[in-house]
């Protein structure tokens, strides 16, 4: 892990992970460890690991985009709801 962390971090940042780059790298190493049984003997390790970094970055960026979209829709709905004054009777408001 120590030997590959720098390259993985640079790849995550270059792929658009931004502030989530360290989280992407951590998830990458976890997924790589889980998939070691599927790694072909004699195959180059670095490209395999960097492909996992790219996939994880793409997934993280997509998830963040979906979360922002949901938050934006929720904010629109909340603004559309009638505002109940704080002084009103809760039973009436319900």
Which domain does 40 fall in, by range? 2-80
**Residue 11 placed within a domain:** yes
**Residue 92 placed within a domain:** no
**Residue 67 placed within a domain:** yes
- CATH number for the domain spanning 67: value is 1.10.1740.10
Lowest average pLDDT, out of 6-15, 29-38, 63-72, 81-90, goes to 81-90
> Domains in the chain: how many in total?
1
Length, in residues, of the chain: 94
Rounded mean pLDDT, 49-66? 90
**Residue 88 placed within a domain:** no
Q: Which residues contact 49 (CB under 8 A, 6 or more apart)?
A: 4, 7, 8, 28, 32
Rounded mean pLDDT, 59-68? 81
What is the reported pLDDT for 71? 72
**Residue 93 placed within a domain:** no
Rounded CA separation 94/74 (Å): 21
Enter the pTM of the model: 0.68
């Amino acid at each position: 892990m120590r030997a590959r962390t720098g390259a993985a971090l640079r790849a995550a940042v270059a792929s658009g992970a931004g502030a989530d780059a360290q989280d992407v790298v951590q998830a990458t190493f976890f997924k790589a460890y889980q998939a070691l049984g599927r790694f072909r003997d004699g195959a180059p390790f670095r490209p395999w690991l960097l492909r996992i970094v790219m996939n994880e970055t793409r997934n993280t960026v997509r998830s963040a985009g979906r979360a922002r979209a949901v938050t934006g829709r929720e904010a629109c709905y909340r603004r559309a709801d009638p505002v109940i004054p704080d002084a009103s009777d809760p039973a009436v408001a319900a």
